[in-house]
Amino acid sequence: MSSGGVGSSNGTSPSGSSRSDAHTSKQAKAISDAIDKSLRAEKEQRQKERGAKLLILGPSETGKTTVLKQLKLLYGRKGLDAERQTYRRVVHLNVMKAIQTLCNGLRQSGLALERPENEVHLETVSRLETTLRRYSITSIGFANPAIPRKITDAKAETDMFYEMVPAINALWADRSIQAIFQNASKLNLQDSAKYFLDSIDRLADPNYVPTDDDILQARVRTLAVTEHVFMIDNVTYKIYDVGGQKSLRKYWAPYFDDVNAIIFMVALSAYDQPCEDDERLNRLQECIMLFNSIANHKLFENTAIILFLNKIDVFQKKLEAGIPVVRYFPDFRGPNNYAATTLYFQSKFLEQCKDTQKQVYTHFTHATDTNQMRVIVVAVNVIVQRLNLRNSGLL
């Protein structure tokens, strides 16, 4: 193609002076465009430098700290290395707590052990119960200076763990304990119980060092709000992880100003579980109420809300085990399969937003799966960046 009519001479060509006017105005436009472009680039750069503030909110045990651990693995300089040794204790405490919860479940059910010779192990677990309670996992004191850590605790805990290992092995293999495990919804058993109990020999090795997966599965309640800084695609993110227990939610509000995005975590698998501190309240129902108060909060009018409907692996297992959603959510209509139930829960959350224009970005997540989280974090970053540009008039 030729350069067309520009500067060509034909019957309708402009006179000499109007041609130069056109040229000048074209030049002016080019200059103005270049200035606009550079201003925009500068503004975009400033926006990136200012970074983004992101809160991870949601009830307890929904996977907030797990998402943070994934961010450390994916974007942190040292991954989870700084915490690896501390998590050895957490894992040991988690596995002791898990067997203890199952033994308590057995006692409440009135079921007898499959093997009467395991009675002695039941006694060991019960004898160590009070001591174990003293070493509550929160006392490990991650970023929690309010709770001093006693040096001597570590050795006492390790000794107790080794004393309990034969009991854990024998009881976990007992069919009655397995039956309790299959019906553990009301026991407040942690999701990683099976993962750790199945690996007891590896965990009992004197040279045991937790793997990344062990750390992702391990559970420590978050007590204090913690701030973490990550660079994701050249944008500095300040990310806040909060404690989700009801009594800790009053500490969230001071962090509510100038928030670019919220990841709201939901444990979909909690649909058949009661709240830890209120037996009469369904855990997922309580989570929906909390989402309502966050999604409609006036400080979050311009904040991107990203909903992580998490623990889909456990959720799916519960559906496969035939635990009906309709028993806990009587307005659910449809088959008890993954497609119908996830659609139902997603709309249940989305309908909480009073502002019907408000965009809520939903992801179905498995937070302990690093491969899945890698993809989701990239998608979240794209959303946050796009909304930031839009809010600052750049889109």
Ligand X SMILES: Nc1nc2c(ncn2[C@@H]2O[C@H](COP(=O)(O)OP(=O)(O)OP(=O)(O)O)[C@@H](O)[C@H]2O)c(=O)[nH]1
Query: Which residues are known to be catalytic?
Result: 61, 66, 219, 241, 245
By CB under 6 A, name the one of 63, 76, 105, 210 that touches ligand X.
Answer: 63
**Max Cα–Cα distance, the chain, nearest Å:** 109
- Residue 318 interacts with ligand X (CB under 6 A)? no
> Residue with structure tokens 């989280």?
373
Q: Binding of Mg ion at residue 222 (CB under 5 A)?
A: yes
CB-CB neighbours of 285 under 10 Å: 16
Of residues 52, 58, 62, 65, which one binds Mg ion by CB under 5 A? 65
Residue closest to ligand X, measured at CB: 244
Q: Is 232 annotated as a binding residue?
A: no
Among 129, 191, 213, 276, binds ligand X (CB under 6 A): 191
The number of residues in the chain equals: 395
Neighbouring C-beta atoms of residue 268, cutoff 10 Å = 25
Q: What are the structure tokens assigned to 42, written together?
A: 């500068």
Is residue 196 within 8 Å of residue 98, measured between CB atoms? Answer: yes
Nearer to ligand X, 317 or 386 (CB): 317
Q: Which two tokens stand for residue 317?
A: 């297992």
Kindly state whether residue 217 participates in binding Mg ion, applying the rule CB under 5 A: no
Residue 217 marked ligand-binding: yes
* CA 81 distance to own-chain centroid: 20
Binding-site partner at residue 83 among ligand X, Mg ion, none, CB < 5 to 8 Å by type:
none
End-to-end CA, the chain: 33
Tell me which of 53, 97, 219, 363 binds ligand X, using CB under 6 A: 219
Other beta carbons within 10 Å of 4: 7
Rounded to whole angstroms, the Cα distance separating 186 from 274 reads: 7
Q: What, of Mg ion, ligand X, none, does residue 381 touch, CB below 5 to 8 Å by kind? A: none
Instruction: Give least dist CB 309 to ligand X, A.
Output: 10
Residues that bind Mg ion (CB under 5 A): 64-65, 222
Mark the binding-site residues, compressed into ranges.
Answer: 61-66, 191-192, 216-222, 241-245, 310-313, 367
Mark the binding-site residues for Mg(2+), compressed into ranges.
Answer: 65, 222
